[in-house]
A = this chain, B = another copy of it.
Amino acid sequence: MASSPPSSASASSSEDATTTSSNGSAPVQFSKYSRRASARSVVGRPDGGLGLAGKRAVVGGWVKSANVVKAKRGGCAMLPPRMTATESETTGLTCTEVLMARVPLIRCIAKLIGGASAVDKASSSVSYKLAPVTALARINDGSCVPDLQIVVDSSLCPLEQVTAIGACVLVEGKIELVEGRSQPHVIELRVDKVLHIGAVDIDKYPLPNVELPPDELIKDYGPQLATTRTTAMASVARVRSEMVHAAHAFFQTNGFFHVNTPIITTTTVAGERRKMFRVMRPTSSKSDNRAITPEVVRASIKAKTKQIQALKRSDSNKEALEAAELDLQRASELAQQLEQQGSADFSDKSFQHPLYLSSDHTLHLETYACALSSVYTFSPAFQAESLETHNHLAERWTIDAELAFAELEDAISCAVDCLMWLLSTVFKNCSDELKFLSTEENNGKFFHVNSALSSPWERITYNEAVNTLLQVKDKSFEGKVELGMPLSLEHMRFAFHGKSIGSYLVDDYYKKPVIIYEYPKQLKPFYARLTEDETKVSAFDIVVPKVGIVACGTQKEERMDKLTARIDDLRLPRDHLEWYLDIRRHGTVKHSGFSMDIEQLILLVTGLNK
């Protein structure tokens, strides 16, 4: 079955015993479920691979930059005049999918890459004896930030294959120390066996060295070179992965159960229906449009029974008989089902309600919380694109948590702890990535964010926020400042570039994260719990300077009478909400929750937004 893994034993014949430091010649272990050692296990080690010098290894990856060196002809001539990784990274950036092209994250990164990849300049001075013509290629398999330099002699393969930016190579050789600490790397792999080369179609790759808007890049080059073959995009992907793992760890540690709420939903109350995607079933199948009545099925059963009797008489075709019998059996089952349903129309009634893609998981998550106590979900939420703004995601993944026997304070504590946990985990485990993404343009912003988060946060009510704004004289805001106005925080989630009133408050006035709570009820959803005076609700937003809202939450209205009054006030379709009201009708409990947007958190932690 398939080929066997490249045996490291078979390669030991080419092992020359001339080398260096280190213990024994046991080869570097393969990554689990793979045919090579990952870059992370070689150059991604804390020592940069120093401790592996002298060992043999199989490594694979894609060429990020390369030079061909003619040693005998004096110095390091670069041949052919090919683009370096730095150049190709500037342009080798597309997006994962047509929709993704609209993701601000990716757009932000596109702008940043130039700066970010500047730190990645390939250095290629050679410090030992080379074969007549040798290629130095820096490869990376996406598992860590540093590239691994491989040294390939022209006798092993045509060097243009291993020096083409984007080519995939799988090579075997010995890890050697690089002399001279001015090098960006301490080890390199001297290749003695080329196991595989995934060539590059030079006509089509690298992408043209001109700045194209993402739309055109996608149109012309497709999404596949993607996210991820650039160091910056791969770094972001790894940060995102680390954050997702951290989120699950946080909730698991704190006794939350993971649940999945429906993505396709008939409930449109929490979101705005006009901003929700509709879901349609395919209608090509005939049976979709046809009503199957018990009469039709009974007639069919009669016909099939006759057919079977005929087949039995003829006895000519055993297979046909079996097929007919099976057919009959199915028809009988169908008839039974129809009888049980007491319905003459077999078409699924539940599908006659319009279906939507869920834009908010809160309501369904509450049903779980009101039975399992502490639950969370990590799910996609959908919002149909509006043409008015581009700072908007059609699909974004959110972390939503809901806690029973919990009030607003509990949700705030949990959200703050969760945020701290996520950020500190990522800062700890992705320092290479964050350093790489730190550029002049964002001015090492993640470090700034980190320190901002560790200092005490401001806690103010909505009223205090407005009063603060009222005292600002030297600013002209969009709109009039008065109690009851939105702080534009609702729009901040996707609006980084325009300075809203809310962002003035955190960016310029408090200059640290602010928890704003107790909003006027008209600014928050119907399910937020009314405070004593019934004009405000128990809700909060956590707003971080330069980023905007990173978490928002509410204590839910657990009192049936207040909730129904609110639903009626807002003229929401009560019949659509009966299922939701039943949570209050039957054993209601105080419960609170919050929501975080993971794409937003990525912007925060990488400093990629501006």
Contact = CB atoms under 8 A, between A and B. Distances in A.
Contact of A387 (B3, B224, B348, B407): B348
A406 B170 CA distance: 11
Interface stretch (A46-54, A149-157, A274-282, A466-474): A274-282
Contact of A198 (B142, B285, B558): B558
Given A240-B259, A397-B260, A60 B224 contact: no
B257 A371 contact: no
Interface in A72-115: 96-102
Contact of A382 (B257, B264, B371, B582): B264
Interface in A460-496: 476, 478-480
Given A2-B555, A372-B234, A586-B204, A274 B266 contact: no
Interface string A242-279: 00110010001011011111111110000001111111
A227 interface: yes
A233 to B, nearest CB: 8
A478 B373 contact: no
A419 B342 CA distance: 42
Contact of A33 (B98, B403, B584): B403
A350 B205 contact: no
A373 B142 contact: yes
Which 5 pairs of residues, A with B, have the shortest CB-CB distance?
Answer: A222-B579, A228-B371, A198-B588, A142-B372, A168-B587
Interface in A363-389: 364, 367-368, 370-374, 379-380, 382, 384-388
Nearest to A388: B287
Interface stretch (A34-42, A182-190, A308-316, A441-449): A34-42
A349 B404 CA distance: 45
Interface in A1-21: 1-3, 5
A61 to B, nearest CB: 8
A578 B264 contact: no
Interface stretch (A127-135, A409-417, A450-458, A504-512): A409-417
Contact of A322 (B60, B259, B364, B476): B476
Copies of this subunit: 2
Contacts of A479: 319
A262 B380 CA distance: 9
Contact of A478 (B199, B326, B347, B587): B326
11 contacts: A2-B555, A33-B254, A33-B403, A34-B374, A97-B265, A142-B404, A229-B587, A241-B258, A263-B382, A274-B285, A278-B281
A88 to B, nearest CB: 11
A126 interface: no
A172 interface: no
Contacts of A280: 277-280
A227 B170 CA distance: 50
B2 A372 contact: no
A387 B228 contact: no
Interface in A498-552: 517-518, 529, 538
